[in-house]
Amino acid sequence: MSRETAGSAAPAGEQPPQETEQKQEEQAEAPEHKRQEAWAARRALIQHGPSFVMSLDRSASATQIGRDQFGVSGGNVHGDVNNYFGAAAEGPRHLSGPVRPEVLTELTAVFRGCPSFEEALARLRADRVVILSGGRDTGRRSAALMLLHRVTGGTLRTLDPPRSLSALTGRLERAEGYLLENFAAGPGDPVREPHLLGLRERLERSDAYLVITVEPSAALDDVPFVRWDPPPAEDMLHAHVTPRAGETGWQGLCGLTQVKEFLAGQHQPGVIREFAQRLIAVHRGESDARSLDGYSERAVEDQVSRWLTDEQRKLLDKAFLLSLAVFDKAPYAVAAELGDLLYARLQHTADPHERVVIPVFGVSREDRLRFAHARGHHDTEVTEWGAVGQYVAEFQDERTARTLLKTAWNLHPSSRPALVKWIGGLAEDRRPLVRTRAASATALLATADFSSAMAHLVEPWADDDDPNSWLTAANALTLAHLLEVPTVLPLLRDWCTGDMASRRWTAIRAYGLLGPVEPEETLDVLLDTIRGRRPDEEDELDESEQQFADALELLLLAVREPVLGRLAENLAGDRPVRGYVLLAFLKACGQTGEAHDRPLILDWYARAHAADESATARHLTVLWQALLSDRTRNDEALRTLAGWVRRADADPETESALTALLPAITAEPPNERRVGHLLRTLRDAAGSPSPSAARLLDHLSLS
């Protein structure tokens, strides 16, 4: 598989698959990535992954995966909600003609005003011409017609878009109101103030008014315009339903689960109007509420299909949609940056000989989000240096992201080569967020076509010589299982006992991550695999110990008591697994909590001791005693214990926990001597005797 990092992708003007000499030199000089420690890798997966990954966190085990979720959870809507009114979206119109009175009558019955409408209305009355900026699916046409209808009350005409606004003045003679739709003001011919002044003078002479609708990307040379932001979808649905069902009927219908689910989806007006008709049929008794099931999901699928097949939409916009699908509920800047790289790859597929040009300062952030039916807000991103402020973007409907990726992968397979190369680059990015989202996108593609996702992405990662690629493969398989792909567990069992070391590592790590959701399956497979290792594999023992110990460590810290009991019970009577268990426990003793930075195992023992949970305290004690008694691990165990004691110098709670733990683990004379020597000789960072060590020594009566 090609090894291209997102950060060193080819410039826009070059062929994306070709590597330049400069890039090759940079890769040769770049230091190798250090393999991420297992518990830290798990934290990164949970912090940066989509919402459904929270089921890996036992503290968030209440999170249920009732259906596929990708990126956003919940149905609350904040910020801009973009919809349009009237009929479903239509293609660009190129014919002039009068607006039929029945169209205005129907529109008047369902239209609801909003702040941007009132702003445009005031400007139209004052200036006779107003530019309304918004996406074609935001309701700008319906708003424009209502503006003209409110101001004139007379004949309205639509105009065929001219090449230039200056050519329009001679056509404003036969009506009181004019609508110029979808005017394409490109960078080479922007709308300028003299154009509007000339139009206003002509309109004043004929006592007429003009509304011009443009795309958010239209070139407006500092001329005034109104950005169209319509009211919420619930208002529109209410307007369609109440004329036939009445206010009382609406109150009964809006409480239906199907209606709440539909409104959370933020659908387009044509879909809302059709849904309203079905809702009215339910009110009249012509059908039941079950007929509304799944309607919202189908509407999302239809919307995505229109986005991807619309020939009027630029490929750059479609690439941004797909990038946002991967980076939903992540920093907008990341989605936009990497969306441009995806565009370069898609353009290479469309025409390998065309030079790719990315408009560096093209569409604004707000306009891009409006086009994508997304919203943005200021939030924090978790990084290895702490939380930092970011402007986060997310789709208004949580189902849009997964639907976009599935539709592109399955219904537009020509996009696969570009997507595969792009996701492969994401997996090699230096940012944990980007690498994690590469895995989550692959997991979602696996729900659409498992064999293709495996062949194009997961298997090349698992077969690579870079352990970081193995981790990405493990994360992808873990997330695919959370998305209920049934073939994941059989594959992991096969890889776990297979001959290929990289695939075995991948499977073992995936099992460790899946511990909270599949604890019994995970522990059984890991222990059975350890017991089944052949004598001729002893030369791989050190690496094997690390692999299995990492998985057991993840399982122990994530699942806690059920795993702790079984590991403690296997120490005495299961010699093949003893070394792996002790190494896993030693690794776990080195982990600290995020909130208080206190050792997790020590904190666990303190809580169990205080709550009189004798079984948990006994099992932790047994494991510590075994560590101190093991000739290959006791030095490392004492170093860990020394770190805990030094921490106690500045943390009374750590000292209190050690006061409870040390008497239990020093019950045997050899351990008593080891710990006693440690406490007598321990020094703090300045070289002075540790004060907490002296107090603990007095408590143990070992002096």
Task: Give the torsion sign (CA, 144, 149, 154, 155).
Answer: positive
Virtual CA dihedral for 650, 653, 656, 657, nearest 10 degrees? -110
Question: What pLDDT does 486 receive?
Answer: 92
pLDDT of residue 544: 57
pLDDT level of residue 57 (50, 70, 90 thresholds): low
Distance CA 259, CA 235 (A): 13
Q: Supply the pLDDT for residue 39.
A: 61
DSSP element (H, E) containing 410: helix 399-411
* Host H or E run for residue 504: helix 501-513
Strand partners, 14: none
- Rounded to 10 degrees, the C-alpha dihedral 592/594/595/598 comes to 10
Torsion of CA 572, 576, 581, 582, to 10 degrees: 70
- Give the range among 418-432, 437-451, 486-500, 684-698 with minimum mean pLDDT: 684-698
Query: In the predicted model, what is the mean pLDDT of the chain?
Result: 80
Residue 464 has pLDDT above 60, yes or no: yes
* Closest C-alpha among 438, 559, 615, 533 to residue 50: 438
CB contact burial 513-548 (16+ within 10 A = b; e otherwise): bbbbbbbeebbebbbebbeebeeeeeeeeeebbbbb
Distance CA 234, CA 267 (A): 10
Lowest mean pLDDT across 159-168, 615-624, 665-674 = 159-168
pTM for the complete prediction? 0.65
Poorest-confidence range of 149-158, 359-368, 498-507?
359-368
pLDDT digits (tens, 9 = 90+) for 570-589: 887 677 788 889 999 999 99
- How far, in Å, CA of 275 to CA of 101, rounded? 25
User: pLDDT digits over 536-553, tens only?
Assistant: 554 444 555 678 888 888
**Does the pLDDT at position 162 exceed 70?**
yes
Q: In what order do the strands lie in the sheet with 226-227?
A: 97-98, 156-159, 177-180, 209-214, 129-133, 226-227
Whether 7 shows a pLDDT value over 50: the answer reads: no
What are the structure tokens assigned to 499, written together? Answer: 């001959």
The Cα 78–Cα 71 span in angstroms is: 16
- Residues 676 and 693: their CA atoms lie apart, in Å, by 10
Is the model's pLDDT at 70 over the cut of 80? Answer: no
3-state SS of 585-628?
HHHHHCCECCCCCCEHHHHHHHHHHHCCCHHHHHHHHHHHHHHH
- Residue 222 pLDDT level (bands cut at 50, 70, 90): confident
Nearest-angstrom CA–CA distance, 552 and 579: 12
Q: Name which of 641, 667, 645 is nearest 656 in CA terms.
A: 645
Residue 89's pLDDT is what? 39
pLDDT, residue 639, reads: 93
Secondary structure (H, E, C), 506-544: HHHHHHHHCCCCCHHHHHHHHHHHHHCCCHHHHHHHHHH
Rounded Cα gap, residues 152 and 146, in angstroms: 10
The pLDDT value given to residue 194: 84
Closest by CA to 202, choosing from 134, 137, 129, is: 129
Rounded mean pLDDT, 268-276: 77
Look up residue 268 and give its two tokens: 């387009």
Name all domains of the chain by residue range, CATH numbers in brackets.
Answer: 6-74+310-424 (no CATH), 97-227 (3.40.50), 592-703 (no CATH)
pLDDT surpasses 70 at 68 = no
